[in-house]
Structures are given as structure tokens and as C-alpha cells.
Amino acid sequence: MRTQVVIVGGGPSGLLLGQLLHKAGIETVVLERKSRAYVLGRIRAGVLERGLVGLMREAGVDARMTAEGYVHDGTLIAYDGDMFRVDFTKHTDATVLVYGQTEVTRDLYAARDDIGAKTHFEVENVVIEDADSDHPFVAFREGGVDQRIDCDFVAGCDGFHGVSRKTIPADVRREYEKVYPFGWLGILSETPPVNDELIYANSDRGFALCSMRNANLSRYYIQCDASDNADNWSDEAFWTELRKRIPASVADSLVTGPSIEKSIAPLRSFVTEPMRWGRLFLCGDAAHIVPPTGAKGLNTAASDVHYLYQGLRQFYAEGDAAGLDAYSAQALARVWKTERFSWWFSNLMHHAPGQSDFDKKMQLAELAFLRDSPEAQASFALNYVGLPY
């Protein structure tokens, strides 16, 4: 088999890249380790920045997103029993769209089906070979049979636990990591959201987030121990704890119901450099992770996709490798700024084990500054709606 670009990983990064490249007349094959049903069963991101919305439009996969997504032009931040609002449109010319990653992925798979592009599911033993030569290939096993695809380029879109990053030799790679001493316990429930905008809450009992997917589907998170297990939490225990962490006026209007999904996500900041080795390009969670506070993971994956797509298009259309050569530095410049925002917002909102009274006072002072300062709100809004590409 031969194709132009092998995309390792059929998550949102890989699928969006595949769709954009198709529009530019570039052929791709996607290799995915799991089944399609498994990928579509994951509940993850919920907030899309303007950049990602624009890429979905450019890829021609925006119809359902536009019809069903909810435009949000502000968010609420709660602390000390009260809350304040950051208005995005007052400080920027952008909004965000609430539309689930699961739906984005579903739409991208449907679009891939429509164009008849090849996706191999449940592949095993993926190995990227000769990425530092002009003739890379990807070997894998499918249905018990060994396969090989020769290609011009490999896009490593296989997430944090994938093989692409580890293909780059250890002496070339530099990794930066911070693991936070807490996680997020999240539930999805078929109940109306408690508020029509997201509420990020700092409380003495730990962080909480009220989010949503649609008018009858709510997504809530509470900070938990990094070592906790979702099975330790009954729905009732979750709702009781959530109520204690949000302002009383909000808690009073919370509608509860059975959870339809419950899971714990660890919080991590991680970046690997460089994001390119020869003809292998890392994209999305394969190269970097942010803690979910501020909703930047999927959106940062999308900015990588943008730079890589532009580089590949320039290469195939004009025979010019300048965009590909600039890819790693360009993507990383934006990645680090997003890492900073996610790290800052996480530190501001969580109760770290052993947090001193002084550290707590610093959080409260910073929250009061954000509440009272239009300039601080402008900085928050610029980061939240997404830095320009």
C-alpha cells in the first residue's frame, strides 16, 4: 500500500487533518488502535475556540456544529460564595462554541465515510519506520495480518499514550512535565444545565465546574484525589459534594438525576520538543497535554492541525517545504502560551493538598483582582476564546 500522508490516530486531530488534506487534494490513510464505537464513546472536551470552529468550516464539516452548538460570549467564575462574569465580547471580537468533542469526532468520521477515505480500525503493533529518511513507512498488524504503508509523511496524532512521540530518539527529544496532585471526577447527566453559561468555582473543598452539552445534557466536574476511583462515588455523593462547592443560589437551582457517565481524569501539563523529526510530525495530545481548566486541549490540537495542514498544502502545491520546516517552532510558540494559561488557571482554582493559608490568600487576592480589573479580564478573555494562530 502507498499513500501521501499516513495519519496515526483517529481522534479529533487525525480526523480533522485528514479532512482538511482531502480538501487540498492530498490523500491520507488513518490508522486507529481502537474501534470506532470506542472512540465515539469517550466523553471529553466541550468548548470549541473560534480557530477550531473555523477549521471545521474550512473542512466542510460544520453543518451540525452550527445548527446544534451553543455560542457562549462569557463565563462565570465563583469564589467565596459569590460569582462574577467575564464578558468575552467586551474584550475580544470572539466567542466560543459549546459542542462536544464526541460530536466533533462523529461528524468527522461521517465526513470521512462520505469521501471514501481509508481508515483502519483496531490496528495493532503500529511502528513508524525510516521517518528520518525520504521514504518513511508505517508497519502494523490488522486482523492478524502484517501490513505496510509507504508514504511521504507521517502525522503522529495518536494522543499521549501513542507510539509517535516515542519514535523520536530519546537523545533528540526533550520533555517538560508537571503532574498535579489532584484529578477531576466528571459526570454526564440527562438534566438541564444549572446555568446557561459555564461556572468555574474555587472553594475550600476544592474546584468544581458546571458545564453542559445541550439543553438536557449537563456535564459537571469536581476536583478529587489523584488516586481516587470513580466507583467510590455514588451519584448522590457527587451531587452533595458539588452543591457544597458552588454558590448557594446556584446549588438551589441544581437539577440532579442519574449519571450516564462517570470518570476521573488526571491533571497534567506536558510538552515534548521538537514536534517534528524528519518526516514525522506530532500533532495534538501526542505532543502536549494541558490540565482541562480553561478547555484548551482539543483547541491546542486544532492549532497544530492548522499549521501542519498549511505546511503540507504548501509542500504539495508549490514544492516549498518552508511551512513544514517552520512547523515545530510555530506550533510550540502557541503551545507554550496555552500551557501557561491552563497552568495559571488550574493553580488559581484548585485546592492543593497541604495548601498554606498564605497560598489561599494569594488565590483570593488574584480572584478579586480578576473580578475588579477590566485589564485582567481582557487578558483572561483573550486566552479563553483562543490566541490567534
Catalytically annotated residues: 72, 200, 292, 296, 384
Residue 386 in the binding site for ligand PHB (CB under 6 A) = no
Query: Which one of 6-14, 80-88, 271-279, 324-332 is the stretch in contact with ligand RFL (CB under 6 A)?
Result: 6-14
- The 34-73 site mask, x for binding ligand RFL (CB under 6 A), equals x----x----xxxx--------------------------
φ, ψ of residue 51 in degrees (nearest 5): -60, -45
Residue 69 in the binding site for ligand PHB (CB under 6 A) = no
Q: Cα–Cα distance between 38 and 33 in angstroms, integer? A: 10
What single string gives the DSSP state of each residue in 54-84? HHHHHTT--HHHHHH-EEE-EEEEEETTEEE
Between the CA atoms of 92, 97, 98 and 102, what dihedral angle is there, to the nearest 10 degrees?
A: -130
Residue 112 in the binding site for ligand RFL (CB under 6 A) = no
Q: How many residues bind ligand RFL (CB under 6 A)?
A: 37
Strand order in 74-79's β-sheet? 82-87, 74-79, 199-201, 208-214, 217-225, 174-189, 259-273, 288-289
Q: Of the two residues 101 and 310, which places its CB atom closer to ligand RFL in the complex? A: 101
Query: Which one of 106-114, 155-163, 228-236, 239-247 is the stretch in contact with ligand RFL (CB under 6 A)?
Result: 155-163
Residue 290 in the binding site for ligand PHB (CB under 6 A) = no
Tally the C-alpha atoms within 13 A of residue 188's C-alpha that lie toward its C-beta.
15
Pick from 11, 46, 51, 74 the residue near ligand PHB by CB under 6 A: 46
> Do residues 182 and 223 touch, judged by C-beta distance below 8 A?
yes
Within positions 186 to 215, which residues make up the interface with ligand PHB, using CB under 6 A? 198, 209, 211
> Do residues 241 and 222 touch, judged by C-beta distance below 8 A?
yes
Pick from 203, 293, 346, 383 the residue near ligand PHB by CB under 6 A: 293
In one letter, which amino acid is 29? V
Q: Nearest-CA neighbor of 33 among 127, 152, 117?
A: 127
Within positions 15 to 34, which residues make up the interface with ligand RFL, using CB under 6 A? 31-34
Q: Cα–Cα distance between 68 and 34 in angstroms, integer? A: 27
**54-194-105 Cα angle (round to 5):** 30
Cell of 286: 501526542
Chain position carrying cell 481516587:
228
CB closest to ligand PHB, residue no: 46
When CB distances are held under 5 to 8 angstroms depending on the partner's kind, the choice from ligand RFL, ligand PHB, none that residue 294 binds is ligand PHB
Q: How many residues bind ligand PHB (CB under 6 A)?
A: 11
Q: Cα–Cα distance between 105 and 108 in angstroms, integer? A: 5
Residue 168 in the binding site for ligand RFL (CB under 6 A) = no
When CB distances are held under 5 to 8 angstroms depending on the partner's kind, the choice from ligand PHB, ligand RFL, none that residue 32 binds is ligand RFL
Pick from 3, 5, 7, 13 the residue near ligand RFL by CB under 6 A: 13
Residues forming the site for ligand PHB (CB under 6 A): 45-47, 198, 209, 211, 219, 292-295
Residue ranges in contact with ligand RFL by CB under 6 A: 8-14, 31-34, 39, 44-47, 101, 123, 126, 157-159, 161-163, 184, 186, 265, 284-285, 292, 295-299, 301
